[in-house]
Amino acid sequence: MINYLISDQVRDYRSAEVDLFVGPTTGMGPNEVAEHLFTDTIYPVCGVGFAELHRDKEGRITDLPLLHMDWTNPDWPRWAEFLRANGLSFNGLRGRRFSTYSILLKAAEGNQGLALGWGSFVIPLIDAGRLVRFSNLEMQDPIGFYLARNQRKLPSAATLQLAAWMTSEARRG
């Protein structure tokens, strides 16, 4: 059996009895054995209705309601970093704040504003017609993701098999 915990809070994984976890590359902790899985592309996404209503404002993203994620890792890109990376200036950013990424994406799907979408998370939602990419603006995720386990905990055969499969799938893209 493999224990798992799903959380947006990296610290939740460290205190839990989980066998493997996927986390931000900058989040390596003591006693962790880790392997880099992938980096990602970040771009604005929203619901279909929001895109239809605001398509003429692609060049003025900062005038639109932005959905903000309150990441616990200070290295995760936020709207300010995204806009700077794309050469856009801004004077404060309005919008709603979220502490859970899946809820932020549901708000975007519900036409409440623009969210920063990590391709690996939003492509299935785009393919299903639940979200759309709002503009061609993008940036490379400066952090990436890794697969880790506590080196003090002996991994089971199932854990090693799952880790090998996850690493293989990540390399395939």
pLDDT-derived band at 9, boundaries 50, 70, 90: low
Structure tokens at 145: 């993701």
Name the pLDDT band for 1 (thresholds 50, 70, 90). Answer: low
Note the pLDDT of residue 16.
57
The percent of residues in the chain predicted with pLDDT above 90, rounded, is 49
pLDDT tens for each residue of 78-116: 999 999 999 998 887 788 999 899 999 999 999 999 999
pTM: 0.81
In the CATH hierarchy, which top-level class contains the domain 10-39+143-172? alpha beta
At 20 the pLDDT is: 84
Domain edges within the chain: 10-39+143-172, 41-140
42 pLDDT above the threshold of 90 = yes
Domain 41-140 of CATH type 3.40.50.720: no
Kindly give, in sequence order, each residue whose CB lies less than 8 Å from that of residue 159, ignoring residues fewer than 6 positions away.
2, 19, 20, 149
Indicate the pLDDT class of residue 74, thresholds 50, 70 and 90: confident
Name residues whose C-beta falls within 8 Å of residue 92's C-beta, 6 or more positions apart in sequence.
none
Does the fold of domain 41-140 match that of domain 10-39+143-172? yes
Q: pLDDT tens-digit profile of 139-168?
A: 999 888 888 888 888 888 998 999 999 999
The burial class, CB within 10 Å (0-12 / 13-18 / 19+), for 13 is: buried
